[in-house]
Structure 1
Amino acid sequence: MTDRRPLRPSSVALAADPALERLLWDDPFLRVISTTCPPGLRLEGEIDLCSRDLLAAALDEAVRFGSGDLHVDLTSVTFIDVAGTRMMTTAAKTLSRDGRRLLLHATPPGTRKVIHLLGWETTPGLMHCIGAML
């Protein structure tokens, strides 16, 4: 199981404006960065069995403690398995109960196809946005 403790910010996170983003987890498979403008998460790496716990923890924290819509930037994600995709649709359903949405930015084509094939494109609160977050 992956260690869930936050690590010291990487040079990438330190170079960014600390008021706008904060490195939550830096794992060999997945890096999770919290953003405030727009409010959400930027994910980098692979989302699979090895990193699923990190994604679950990050989504849970963002859903529970955030307000408004949750933006998830997938620009630097190289792979997402079906279970990782399901976690995002589950988070979208939870957000929709409070009138909030999960906005996926730069969703990889394979992930969009999985969402379509499984009928998850009609998930309440789930939206796809073209391109990365601003």
Structure 2
Amino acid sequence: MTSMQHVSDTASFRAVRTDDPPGLAIRGDLGPEHAVRFAGALRGAAAAAPGNLCLDCEGLDTVSVEGLRAMMDAAADLSRLGRSLTVCRLSPYFLRIFRLAGWDQTPGLVLEPPAAAELGNSELARVRRSGLRRPDRPDAADGRHGAVA
């Protein structure tokens, strides 16, 4: 990333505009309280770059339905302009949610799966067995693993 500009920054969620590749890098918990600002950040990134956008989700811990809807809406808007939103560095957990919900079929949305080489065999097997649970994040309420935001 050659240049970064903070476009949404709170204690629990951060969105940073990137130039190389053009788009956003997001970190933390994308809760419903952040969805409107996140959607605006996506629109701003789309206006600032003429081509496709990359949404770097490496640091994404949880995401609300409102946050997911903002991603789907941005991808559909870009698709109407002949562009796309590539969601990259998405955890296997979130990739599974996108696929199970059918959101991977959203026009303009490109999901870049994590490389299997990045996961150890036991971690990959655990993710496959976990369904909609993210095995590496404990549920804050009761300490169990696998909370869905």
Give the TM-score normalised by the residue count of structure 2.
0.69
Shift of 1:103: 0.3
Q: Equivalent residue for 1:61? A: 44
* Count of residue pairs the alignment pairs up: 115
Q: Secondary structure at the match of 1:33?
A: strand
- Match for residue 102 of structure 1? 85
Residues 13-70 of structure 1, C-alpha deviations (whole Å, 9 max, x = no match): xxxx8x6211222111211111001101001111112222221111121223421000
Specify which of 76, 93, 112 is matched with residue 93 of structure 1: 76
Quote the Cα distance in structure 2 between the aligned partners of 1:120 and 1:113: 10
One-letter code aligned to 1:30: F
SS of alignment partner, residue 121 of structure 1 = helix
Gaps of 5+ in 2: 115-149
Whether 2:64 is the aligned partner of 1:119: answer no
1:58-115 CA distance string (max 9 Å, x none): 1121223421000000001111122211210111111011111100011133322222
Q: Which residue of 1 aligns with 2:14?
A: 31
2:32 aligned counterpart, secondary structure: coil
State the structure with bigger RCO (CA 8 A, min sep 6), 1 or 2.
1
Percent of aligned pairs with the same amino acid = 31
Q: Specify whether residues 111 and 83 from structure 1 end up closer, same or farther in structure 2 by C-alpha distance, changes over 3 A only.
A: farther
Contact 2:8 2:38 in 1 (8 A): no
Structure number with higher helix proportion: 2
What is the rounded CA distance, in whole Å, between the counterparts of 2:41 and 2:29 in structure 1? Answer: 14
Larger Rg: 2
Question: Once superposed, what is the RMSD of the aligned Cα atoms?
Answer: 2.0
Give the corresponding residue for 1:5: none
Contact residue 29 and residue 50 of structure 1 kept, 8 A: no
Distance 1:76 1:23 in 2: 15
Runs of 4+ in 1 over 6 A off after TM superposition: none
